[in-house]
Amino acid sequence: MAAGAARSEMKPVRPAFVPDPSASREAMEALQREIAAAAAFADDFGFDSAAVSTTAATHTLDSIADDRTAAGPSHDDPPTVVGVDQAFLDDRAVGAIVALRGGEVIERAHAVVDLEFPYVPGLLSFRETGAILAAFENLDVEPDLAVFDGSGRIHYREAGLATHMGVTLDLPAVGVAKGLLCGAPQGSLDDLPEGTRVAIAANDSVETADDVDTVIGYALQTRQYDSGNRHINPVYVSAGHRVGGDTAADLVERLCDGYKLPEPTRLADSYADEVKRDHSG
C-alpha cells in the first residue's frame, strides 16, 4: 500500500498481545518478554527516513479538512507520522493521536475508555493500550511511523509502550520518554550541547538483553539554552518496532521543531489535554 494511504479501523495484527485485564502480574511480564522477542529493533519500513519533515505543523483544523481528500496522498507525498499520547481522567483513559504529513496536521483521532488496569511500574503499557488501540481504530489515515510518548526498548523487559503497540499493530514505532526508566548512560548527561547523543546500554535492570553492553537507546539532547544559567534535560529515545536505535534518534531529531519534544508527540500531548477537558465534569 502506498505511504499514508487511507484506511479505516486500524486493528491489532497480533491480537494475542492485546492486554488481558484478568491476567496476573507474572503473566503480564511473561507477555512482555514475548513482545520483546517478536519486536524488530532494526530498520524495516517502506518510507524514506530523509523525507520525514521538520517543517512546523499547522495547528488549525482547517488544514486537516483541506488535506483529507478521497483520493488520499500521492506516492510522492512525505511519510505520514503520527504522535501518540495518553491522559487519565478519573477512572477513564484518553488516547490521542495527531497525524502529520510534511509537517502539516492532516488528522486527529482520540478515544476515551474505562480504565481496566491499575498503575503498576513496569507495566504501564497495559494501562494505556486500551485507549490507544481504540484511538487507532478511529484513525482514517494509515501511518508510516508512530512516535509514542513513552519508552520502547528502554524498558526492564525491552517492551515499553512503543514496543508493545508497535508489535501489536505491526507498525514502525519509536519511543520518546522524558525520564530514564532503566539502563546505564555511557557518559555524563549533565549540560549536554544541543545535538549530543549518549548511548544507553543494558545493565542488570534489563532482564531480556542478550548482553549487558547492548545499546538499547539514546539520551538525545534535542534543545539547549545558549546561556549556561539554565539547562534543558535530554529526552530518551529508543526503538519500538521495525526501527533501529540509531534511526530512531535520527528521526526524533528531525521531528523536533524548536522544542524539546518531537512535534508529533508535542501536539498529541496538547490534544490529549483538550480531549480531557472536553470530557471533564
Q: How far is the CA of 18 from the CAs of 75, 119, 133, 221, in angstroms?
A: 32, 17, 9, 33
pLDDT on residue 160: 97
Per DSSP, 139 falls in state -
pLDDT of residue 75: 55
Question: What value does the mean pLDDT take over residues 150-162?
Answer: 97
- Please give the average per-residue pLDDT across 155-170, as a whole number: 97
pLDDT score of 59 = 42
Average pLDDT over every residue of 142-171: 97
Amino acid identity, position 22? S
pLDDT > 70: what percent of the chain? 86
Domain coordinates in residue numbering, the chain: 15-278
CB 94 within 8 A of CB 276: yes
**pLDDT per position as a tens digit, 5-56:** 444 568 999 999 999 999 999 999 999 999 999 999 999 999 999 999 766 4
For 74, the grid coordinates are 500521492
- Residues 6 or more apart from 249 whose CB is under 8 A from it? 197, 218, 220, 237
Confidence at residue 57, expressed as pLDDT on a 0 to 100 scale: 42
Residue 76 has a pLDDT of: 66
Question: What confidence score (pLDDT) does residue 225 get?
Answer: 86
Q: Is 246 annotated as a binding residue?
A: no
More confident residue, 214 or 60: 214
Calculate the average pLDDT of the chain.
89
Query: For position 56, what pLDDT does the model report?
Result: 46
- The answer to whether 149 is annotated as binding is yes
Lowest-confidence region among 116-120, 157-161, 235-239: 116-120
For the residues 59-66, what does the mean pLDDT come to?
A: 43
Greater pLDDT, 248 or 120: 248
What is the CATH class of 15-278?
alpha beta
54 vs 33, 66, 140, 202, CA distance in Å? 35, 20, 23, 31
State pTM to two decimals. Answer: 0.89
| Cell numbers found for residue 157 | 523487559
